[in-house]
């Protein structure tokens, strides 16, 4: 069963993830504890043998070997090889999840484009959507061990209601060496063509749309079939075995050398080694936990259609798809609630109510954009005294300079700010925040269009 902990981390708080560290099901401890016990046991055997069962000459040889192994383990590119591999695995896992076939869009289009309130019409809706669900069951049955255990044969699929006895005979009579999950999709298209002949699909334009665009069942069926095909190819084409072997060999060989190279040795003259004997290699065990745990994560999600704790809930997914699709195309066909005026019919601004626990959110201002925040800041620092001071300074000190090209084209120069003046005083900020009142008697368009320009002398 998929392990969900979203509610536990809904809010970020102090040591929020620490609540997740003591869960067993779906945890890294459950995946790694056997390897961890083996590593600790082997390390302890080497440590006890070195301390109590070797002679003085044998200890010297063991110390030389341990020192050499400790130096050479840094040559194994653990982080690069393992990090790239896990990234590739996670991308593959996410793509498989997004390509799980769901009938939601298809059932909406079938319900809106295939018409008829009689028994024949109802049979068309349910058969069309059942074919879509049948194709997903067939593909999931071939790639998921959970679905295979639930439907080990076509007879079980017939008993579940995804396929009739006649359809099973027709399905088995069509021989092919390859997976035949696509056959219900072909049945879907042929049945849609019959619905057009019977007038269940209103006109040829709708039938053409049925074949071309995303608003009609055929395109949605092709999308549904394409997802089934992608799942089949993900199951067929695995990540190259050589890459998986390289990563596995790198991890296991690294920690095999660590069994000897990370031993606490007796300090002797001639070489430098740890002066403190911890007996338990804490940092080596943490390193094993991180790297080997990373590898176990990749091992778990490389095939999400298995029976691990965090694999996809394919059985529940099939139950949900069949129930929802039949409910949409059958029970909800032209079964609409009466239209009424909404509660905010006579209100100019609709405002849903808040509960007591969320009433404080009504005092928060709505975000309109960071530029509106800057405008509010400008309105705060704006004052008549600063405006008059800016006008005097602009008349005495600032000079509007027209570029040479603009003189020939007779185009007004664009406003700019002298960086030197802006750095000396706050005059530039006041000019930026100055509001222009077009109704004022002292208003001159050219003066305010050319607020500031870079002085030629300052730009040199």
pLDDT tens readout for residues 363-397: 888 888 878 766 655 655 555 544 554 455 445 44
pLDDT band with cut points at 50, 70 and 90 for residue 412? very low
CA-atom Rg of the chain in angstroms: 37
Task: For residue 198, give every residue at least 6 positions away whose Cβ sits within 8 Å of its Cβ, in sequence order, or none.
Answer: 120
Q: What is the DSSP letter of 397?
A: T
Write down the pLDDT at residue 375: 63
Q: Express each pLDDT in 39-70 by its tens digit.
A: 999 999 999 999 999 999 999 999 999 999 99
- For 122, the token pair is 């109802």
- For 100, the token pair is 């799980």
* Cβ burial, residue 149 (10 Å; 0-12/13-18/19+): exposed
Write down the pLDDT at residue 94: 95
Write down the pLDDT at residue 113: 81
pLDDT at 451 over 50: no
pLDDT at 430 over 70: no
Are the C-beta atoms of residues 123 and 333 closer than 8 Å to each other? no
Task: For residue 288, give every residue at least 6 positions away whose Cβ sits within 8 Å of its Cβ, in sequence order, or none.
Answer: 36, 39, 255, 258
pLDDT at 246 over 60: yes
Are the C-beta atoms of residues 324 and 254 closer than 8 Å to each other? no
SS3 184: helix
Are the C-beta atoms of residues 184 and 134 closer than 8 Å to each other? yes
Q: Is the dihedral of CA 309, 314, 316, 320 positive or negative?
A: positive
pLDDT band with cut points at 50, 70 and 90 for residue 272? low
Query: Cα separation of 148 and 307, whole Å?
Result: 11
Are the C-beta atoms of residues 265 and 70 closer than 8 Å to each other? no
Q: To the nearest whole number, what is the mean pLDDT of the chain?
A: 80
pLDDT at 331 over 80: yes
Query: Cα separation of 200 and 434, whole Å?
Result: 67
pLDDT band with cut points at 50, 70 and 90 for residue 9? confident
| Total Cβ atoms within 10 A of residue 314 | 22
Query: Cα separation of 161 and 365, whole Å?
Result: 55
Q: Express each pLDDT in 283-325 by its tens digit.
A: 999 999 999 999 999 999 999 999 988 899 999 999 999 999 9
Query: Cα separation of 237 and 92, whole Å?
Result: 11
Are the C-beta atoms of residues 224 and 101 closer than 8 Å to each other? yes
Write down the pTM of the prediction. Answer: 0.74
pLDDT band with cut points at 50, 70 and 90 for residue 278? confident
Write down the pLDDT at residue 361: 84
Are the C-beta atoms of residues 413 and 450 closer than 8 Å to each other? yes
pLDDT band with cut points at 50, 70 and 90 for residue 93? very high
- Percentage, residues of the chain above pLDDT 70: 75
Min mean pLDDT across 8-12, 302-306, 409-413 is at 409-413
Question: What is the mean pLDDT of the segment spanning 156-173?
Answer: 95
Min mean pLDDT across 74-83, 114-123, 180-189, 439-448 is at 439-448
Write down the pLDDT at residue 199: 86
Q: Express each pLDDT in 178-222 by its tens digit.
A: 999 999 999 998 998 898 888 887 766 555 555 554 444 556 788
């Amino acid at each position: 069963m998929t392990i969900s902990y979203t509610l536990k981390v809904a809010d970020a708080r102090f040591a929020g993830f620490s609540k997740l560290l003591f869960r067993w099901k779906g945890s890294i401890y459950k995946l790694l504890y056997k390897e961890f016990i083996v590593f600790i046991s082997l390390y302890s055997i080497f440590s006890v043998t070195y301390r109590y069962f070797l002679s003085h000459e044998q200890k010297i040889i063991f110390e030389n070997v341990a020192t050499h192994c400790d130096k050479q383990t840094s040559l194994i590119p653990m982080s690069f090889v393992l990090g790239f591999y896990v990234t590739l695995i996670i991308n593959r896992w996410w793509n498989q999840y997004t390509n799980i076939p769901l009938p939601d869009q298809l059932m909406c289009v079938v319900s809106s484009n295939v018409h008829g309130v009689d028994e024949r019409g109802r049979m068309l809706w349910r058969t069309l959507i059942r074919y879509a669900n049948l194709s997903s069951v067939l593909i999931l049955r071939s790639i998921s061990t959970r679905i295979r255990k639930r439907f080990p044969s076509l007879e079980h699929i017939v008993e579940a209601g995804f396929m009739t006895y006649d359809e099973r005979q027709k399905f088995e009579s069509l021989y092919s060496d390859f997976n035949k999950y696509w056959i219900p999709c072909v049945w879907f298209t042929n049945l849609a063509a019959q619905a057009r002949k019977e007038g269940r699909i209103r006109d040829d334009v709708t039938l053409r749309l049925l074949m071309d665009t995303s608003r009609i069942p055929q395109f949605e069926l092709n999308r549904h079939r394409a997802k089934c095909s992608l799942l089949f190819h993900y199951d067929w084409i695995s990540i190259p075995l050589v890459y998986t072997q390289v990563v596995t060999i790198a991890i296991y060989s690294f920690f095999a050398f660590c069994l000897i190279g990370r031993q606490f040795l007796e300090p002797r003259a001639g070489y430098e080694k740890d002066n403190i004997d911890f007996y338990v290699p804490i940092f080596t065990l943490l390193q094993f936990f991180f790297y080997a745990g990373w590898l176990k994560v990749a091992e778990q999600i490389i095939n999400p259609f298995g029976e691990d704790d965090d694999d996809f809930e394919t059985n529940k997914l099939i139950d949900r798809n069949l129930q929802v699709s039949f409910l949409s195309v059958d029970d909800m066909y032209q079964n609409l609630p009466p239209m009424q005026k909404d509660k905010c019919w006579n209100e100019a601004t609709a405002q849903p109510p808040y509960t007591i626990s969320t009433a404080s959110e009504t005092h928060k201002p709505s975000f309109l954009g960071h530029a509106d925040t800057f405008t509010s800041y400008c309105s705060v620092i704006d004052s008549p005294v600063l405006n008059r001071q800016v006008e005097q300074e602009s008349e005495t000190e600032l000079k509007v300079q027209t570029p040479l090209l603009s003189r020939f084209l007779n185009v007004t120069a664009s406003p700019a700010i002298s960086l030197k003046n802006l750095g000396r005083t706050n005059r530039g900020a006041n000019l930026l925040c100055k509001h222009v009142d077009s109704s004022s008697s002292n208003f001159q368009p050219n003066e305010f269009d050319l607020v500031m320009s870079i002085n030629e002398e300052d730009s040199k």
